[in-house]
């Protein structure tokens, strides 16, 4: 319980949504670690071990998605666009550089 509370505190949630997500992350991580610790001493054969390993994998994948969600939430949902190919027709004009929309010149 102390480890879970420490993880929540160290994540420093900024609002209720972040707090809920961080609590989900802590619960997911705790469940995954509990399953991992049981795999080593699992009884019931290979099938039982495989089921626990699959469940652990799903929990760890969910945790990774939650971490990415928190990162995106904190970053403000900024987007990155990468342009691979540019085709310019012979009579066209192009602008190369960083463009900023909404500047005072546009007003």
Name which of 6, 7, 17, 23 is nearest 72 in CA terms.
17
Does a structural domain hold residue 91?
no
Give residue-wise pLDDT tens across range 46-86. Answer: 888 889 999 999 999 999 999 999 999 998 866 677 777 77
Is residue 8, in this structure, part of any structural domain at all? yes
Is the residue at 105 inside a domain?
Answer: no
Q: Is residue 19 part of a domain?
A: yes
Domain count, the chain: 1
**Predicted TM-score (pTM) of this structure:** 0.65
Rounded CA gap, 15 and 73, in Å?
A: 11
Instruction: Quote the domain boundaries for residue 49.
Output: 2-75
In order of 15, 35, 73, 101, the CA distances from 10 in angstroms are: 14, 24, 17, 37
Q: Domain for residue 42, yes or no?
A: yes
43 pLDDT band (50/70/90 cuts)? confident
User: What residues have CB less than 8 Å from 63, skipping those under 6 apart?
Assistant: 25, 28, 29, 32
The answer to whether position 38 is within a domain reads yes
């Amino acid at each position: 319980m102390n480890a879970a509370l420490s993880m929540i505190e160290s994540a420093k949630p900024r609002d209720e949504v972040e707090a809920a997500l961080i609590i989900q992350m802590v619960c997911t991580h705790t469940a995954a670690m509990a399953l991992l610790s049981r795999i080593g001493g699992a009884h019931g054969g290979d099938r039982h071990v495989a089921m626990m390993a699959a469940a652990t994998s799903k929990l760890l994948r969910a945790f990774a998605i939650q971490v990415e969600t928190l990162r995106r939430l904190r970053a403000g949902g900024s987007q990155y666009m990468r342009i691979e190919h540019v085709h310019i027709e012979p009579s066209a004009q192009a602008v190369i550089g960083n463009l900023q929309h909404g500047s005072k010149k546009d007003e």
